[in-house]
Structure formats: structure tokens, C-alpha cells
């Protein structure tokens, strides 16, 4: 509704969620009692708060793309407390060499982490701070909210893959971070229990879906797509192109500590075994294409592939997709979006091609950053997500990354991953080896050495264009 405000109506989401499940059961000519289990995969970092007694929400979901907490992030990142924390962590890492302290030595709060947006609502939603101090409030990301509603308010829980994106959970200790809780003054009564990704969280109230269906998995969407693509071995990599572009590399049982902006996230926890992923991302992939459609450059998202291919080049036009700032390796939350190089000869196809090229260029930056730090298996990279259906963009990605890509047969591998994990919890499958046999690949895209070489100077020129848009929205000091 306003610049920087990205919200979801909790009641609309809940109704859509329930209606979709009911429609799926009806479409399959089944009854709710035929369903063995429910697995839930959701977007991460988007949260709301509600009254633990009445269930009434205090505000809409604040999306992971919401930037209202940008000012708070800026204040905290410059604060003496944070400087002292980073210095202490640097010294502790020098003494102990523990990766956990290396990550803490560069800790910076970002709006994408729920923790700063939580502070924002506590400070800005009337009555919320007081109700929280009285222990009346629960906080939850989308998965937690849906679980709480499904179980009739009986279960307030999440899993490590969702918890680790809040900025409050420590992936190294697998617990809510007491350091962050104490430093920011977050009441622990708000926070959900953290349970295994694959396991019985509770049962849906039979009044809601028609049967007491076991809820046997909760997982974040990016981790779910890695699981659905069967990235079970160390070094396996997948890329999801949806609202954003997310690269995830399996790092086995050890969280990867980086100082460049690669995040160590929990992939999933099954029994006592934790699998970690290294994650690099850019946030505005689908957002840029949707914006182009709303602007009238496209009739629909799939037309972008045809339009981009209708011209031999962008004719010197470059686009910087920074609606949510620029993530690693640039790391500028205040960057602006825009075109550069427009002339009287610029046509619609050039603008659309420049947009798609910028998405591939961003992905190349993220991939190269990760490839220099993390072991990536020399296998075909797996691609999924709605934007991965764009043929022009996928070929350009193969050319820019200079490696073959495999597109998933079914682009929504997040749902498949949640189903796999729920099935493991119920014993429908006994191992990930069984799941690998079920994986279905779609088309393969091979890189062109000629196009890769031709794009190298174009990529370098785009990097120069990016510099023109840095720090544009940086808050100005008061006069």
C-alpha cells in the first residue's frame, strides 16, 4: 500500500490455504480421511503476531521484502553494542577459530530478517508492546501461524529451516540465540518451539479439513526445493528462480561460515541429523518481471522470453534490479533500480532483454562468490521455480555460469520436498535413496562457449552501471 510496505492479510491467507487443500482433495476424488499426512512449505521470514488466547492478529503479515525496519537496521548496525559484539567475536574467533564467531564478527541486521521487523512492530503497533510484556502475544512465521490455526491453537512451533531465517536463531547451536534475545530485549514467551523438520507436529482439527490429518513436515521454501530436487549429498547445488533467485549448496553436517555474505542456513533436521546449506541470493527476480508487466512492457511474464529473443542485443541498455537493495556480493540495502543507456532507438524488446540480462548477471555474481568459497560438485546444476520456465533466461544462465543446467520437470519442487519429508516421517519412504529414484528431470540446457565469451564484456559493463545506482536511498543526516 505504501513504499517499502509489503504485507499479507492473515485471514485471506488462511482462507486461501484451507480452500486450496479442500479443492485439491476434491479434485483427486478423495476424502480428507484418505490423506496420510500434510507437509507445509512456506515463504520464510514473513511473520505476524497474535493473541495467544483469542487468536486475533495484531497486524498483517510483514513480508520478508518489507523495508520499514531499514532505519532500525541502520541504527543498530552503527551502534556501540554491535561494534562491541563484532570486535569481541573477532577476538574470540582469533583465539578459538570457531566458525560461529567468524559469522558474528560481521553480523549486520537486514530488513529481510524478521528480528528487526519484529522490533519495528513492537514499537509501532499500539498496545502490542504492553500485551507482549504481559505474555499475551505469540509470534510466528507463516508456517507457525498455519500450524497454530490448523491445530486449533494447540501447537505453537516451527522447524529449524524457518527459525534460522528470523535472525534470532543460532544455526551453530540449533537454539534461539540468547545473545540476540538479551541484546534486543525480545521476550522469549513470543517464540515458538523448534521441532524437527520431518516429524509429527500435531494433527489438523477435523472441523477444518474434515479429518484429523497428521502434520508431518514444516520447512522453508528454499530448503524444501533443495530436498525436492534430491540435493542430499555434500556439494549438490540447486537454483530456485521465483520472487528472488536463491542458490543453495549442501554443506553436509557443518554450517558454512562466510564473511562475504553467504548465509549458513539449516536445510533440514531429520531425527538427530542436521543438514546445512550455504545460501546466496538476489531478491528481485520475479519482482522485476512483474514490474515490467505492470508497466505495460509485457502482456504476461512468459512473453518476456519471446520479446528478449526478438532483438539481437539490449542495444546498450542496462537495468539494475534493486527494488529490495542489492544483496551479496554488492551488499547495498540503499541501492536504486533503473535503466541506463536508453536512446531514441530503444524499443520495448531492448528494455525487456536488459531486464532478463540483469537477472542472469546478478545470478552470475552470486554463483561466482559461492564457487570461490564453497565446494560445489561438478555435476549438472538443478533449476526450479516459476521463472526457470523462461527459456531465454535459462539459456542465458547456462551461458553466464558456463555449466549445464537441468530444469525440474515440475517447477514447484518446494511442494514436492515437503511431501517427501512428510512421507519420511510416516515411513512411506525409509531413506533418501528411495526418493532419488522418484526424481523427474525436465529439459537440459547446455552452455554456448561463443555466447559466454560474447557476454563477458557486456557483464563487465553492467557491473559499471550498477555502481551508478549504489547508496541512492541512503538516509541523509539531519541538518
pLDDT digit string (tens) for the chain, length 479 residues: 577 899 999 999 999 999 999 999 999 999 999 999 999 999 999 999 999 999 999 999 999 989 899 889 989 999 998 899 889 988 988 888 887 788 878 788 888 899 999 999 999 999 999 999 999 999 999 999 999 999 999 999 999 999 999 999 999 999 999 999 999 999 999 999 999 999 999 999 999 999 999 999 999 999 999 999 999 999 999 999 999 999 999 999 999 888 778 889 999 999 989 999 999 999 999 999 999 999 999 999 999 999 999 999 999 999 999 998 999 999 898 899 999 999 999 999 999 999 999 999 999 999 999 999 888 888 889 999 999 999 999 999 999 999 999 998 887 899 999 999 999 999 999 999 999 999 888 889 999 999 999 999 999 999 999 999 999 988 765 44
Residue 461's nearest CA partner among 372, 361, 394 is 361
Tell me whether the omega of the peptide bond preceding residue 329 falls within 30 degrees of 0, making it cis.
yes
Q: Could you tell me the three cell numbers for 209?
A: 479439513
Alpha helices in 406-448 (DSSP H): 413-426, 432-436
pLDDT of residue 468: 96
| Residue 18 in grid coordinates | 484451507
Phi, psi of 209 (to 5 degrees): -110, -5
Q: pLDDT tens, 192-201?
A: 999 999 999 9
pLDDT of residue 1: 59
Q: DSSP letter at 255?
A: P
90 vs 104: CA distance, rounded Å? 8
Q: Please state whether 98 falls in left (phi above 0), alpha (psi between -120 and 50) or beta.
A: beta
Q: What's the rounded Cα separation, in Å, for the pair 71 and 407? A: 39
Round to whole Å and give the CA distance between 323 and 4: 9
Decide if 388 contacts 359 (C-beta within 8 A). Answer: no
Pair type for strands 214-220 and 38-42? parallel
Residue 150: HSE in the Cβ half-sphere, 13 Å Cα cutoff: 29
Quote the CA–CA distance of 215 and 200 in Å, as a whole number: 6
pLDDT at 477: 56
Enter the DSSP assignment of 284: -
DSSP 214-268: EEEEEEEHHHHHHHHTT--STT-EEEEESSSEEEEEEEETSPPP-SSS-EEEEEE
pLDDT for 99 equals 77
Instruction: For residue 289, give the nearest of 242, 349, 341 by alpha carbon.
Output: 242
Class of domain 285-467: alpha beta
Domain limits, the chain: 285-467
Q: Which of 460, 465, 427 is nearest to 319 (CA)?
A: 465
CA distance 437 to 422: 17
Q: CA of 245: how far to CAs of 84, 114, 360, in Å?
A: 33, 19, 10
Task: Answer yes or no: are the C-beta atoms of 298 and 226 closer than 8 Å.
Answer: no
Q: Under a CB-based contact definition with an 8 Å cutoff, are residues 294 and 345 in contact?
A: no
For residue 307, give Cα distances in angstroms to 28, 356, 365.
38, 10, 25
CA nearest 318: which of 174, 469, 195?
469
Residues linked to residue 139 through DSSP beta bridges, in sequence order = 49
Q: What pLDDT score was predicted for residue 478?
A: 46
User: What tens digit of pLDDT does each residue of 399-424 get?
Assistant: 999 999 999 888 789 999 999 999 99
Burial of 78 (0-12, 13-18, 19+ CB in 10 A): exposed
Amino acid at each position: 500500500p505504501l513504499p517499502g510496505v509489503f504485507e499479507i492479510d492473515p485471514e485471506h491467507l488462511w482462507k486461501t490455504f484451507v480452500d486450496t487443500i479442500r479443492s485439491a482433495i476434491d479434485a483427486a476424488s478423495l476424502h480428507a480421511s484418505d490423506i496420510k499426512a500434510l507437509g507445509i512449505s512456506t515463504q520464510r521470514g514473513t511473520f505476524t503476531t497474535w493473541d495467544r488466547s483469542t487468536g486475533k492478529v495484531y497486524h498483517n503479515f510483514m513480508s520478508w521484502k518489507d523495508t520499514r525496519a531499514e532505519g532500525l537496521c541502520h541504527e543498530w548496525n552503527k551502534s556501540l553494542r554491535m561494534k562491541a559484539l563484532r570486535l569481541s567475536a573477532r577476538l574470540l574467533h582469533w583465539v578459538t577459530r570457531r566458525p560461529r564467531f567468524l559469522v558474528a564478527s560481521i553480523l549486520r541486521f537486514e530488513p529481510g530478517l524478521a528480528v528487526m521487523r519484529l522490533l519495528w512492530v513492537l514499537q509501532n503497533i499500539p498496545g502490542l508492546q504492553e500485551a507482549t510484556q504481559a505474555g499475551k502475544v505469540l509470534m510466528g512465521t507463516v508456517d507457525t501461524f498455519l500450524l497454530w490455526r490448523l491445530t486449533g491453537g494447540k501447537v505453537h512451533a516451527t522447524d529449524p529451516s524457518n527459525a534460522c531465517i528470523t535472525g534470532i536463531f543460532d544455526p551453530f547451536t540449533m537454539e534461539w540465540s540468547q545473545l540476540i534475545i538479551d541484546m534486543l530485549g525480545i521476550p522469549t514467551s513470543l517464540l515458538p518451539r523448534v521441532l524437527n523438520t520431518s516429524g509429527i507436529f500435531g494433527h489438523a482439527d477435523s472441523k477444518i479439513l474434515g479429518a484429523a490429518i497428521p502434520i508431518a513436515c514444516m520447512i522453508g521454501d528454499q530448503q524444501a526445493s533443495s530436498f525436492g530436487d534430491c540435493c542430499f549429498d555434500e556439494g549438490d547445488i540447486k537454483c530456485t528462480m521465483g520472487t528472488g533467485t536463491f542458490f543453495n549448496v549442501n554443506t553436509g553436517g557443518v554450517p558454512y561460515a562466510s564473511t562475504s555474505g553467504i548465509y549458513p542456513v539449516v536445510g533440514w533436521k531429520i531425527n538427530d541429523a542436521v543438514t546445512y546449506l550455504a545460501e546466496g541470493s538476489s531478491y528481485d527476480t520475479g519482482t522485476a518481471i512483474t514490474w515490467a508487466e505492470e508497466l505495460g512492457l509485457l502482456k504476461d511474464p512468459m512473453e518476456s522470453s519471446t520479446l528478449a529473443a526478438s532483438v539481437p542485443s539490449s542495444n546498450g541498455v542496462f537495468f539494475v534490479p534493486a527494488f529490495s537493495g542489492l544483496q551479496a556480493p554488492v551488499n547495498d540495502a540503499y541501492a536504486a533500480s533503473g535503466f541506463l543507456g536508453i536512446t531514441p532507438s530503444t524499443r520495448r524488446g531492448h528494455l525487456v532483454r536488459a531486464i532478463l540480462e540483469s537477472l542472469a548477471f546478478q545470478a552470475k555474481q552470486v554463483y561466482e562468490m559461492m564457487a570461490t568459497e564453497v565446494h560445489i560438485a561438478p555435476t549438472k546444476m538443478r533449476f526450479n521455480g516459476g521463472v526457470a520456465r523462461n527459456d531465454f533466461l535459462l539459456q542465458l544462465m547456462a551461458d553466464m555460469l558456463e555449466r549445464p543446467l537441468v530444469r525440474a520437470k515440475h517447477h514447484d519442487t518446494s511442494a514436492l520436498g515437503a511431501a517427501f519429508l512428510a512421507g519420511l516421517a510416516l515411513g512411506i519412504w525409509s531413506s533418501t535413496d528411495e526418493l532419488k529414484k522418484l526424481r523427474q528431470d525436465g529439459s537440459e540446457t547446455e552452455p554456448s562457449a561463443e555466447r559466454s565469451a560474447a557476454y563477458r564484456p557486456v557483464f563487465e559493463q553492467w557491473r559499471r552501471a550498477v555502481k551508478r545506482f549504489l547508496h541512492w536511498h541512503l538516509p541523509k543526516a539531519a541538518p
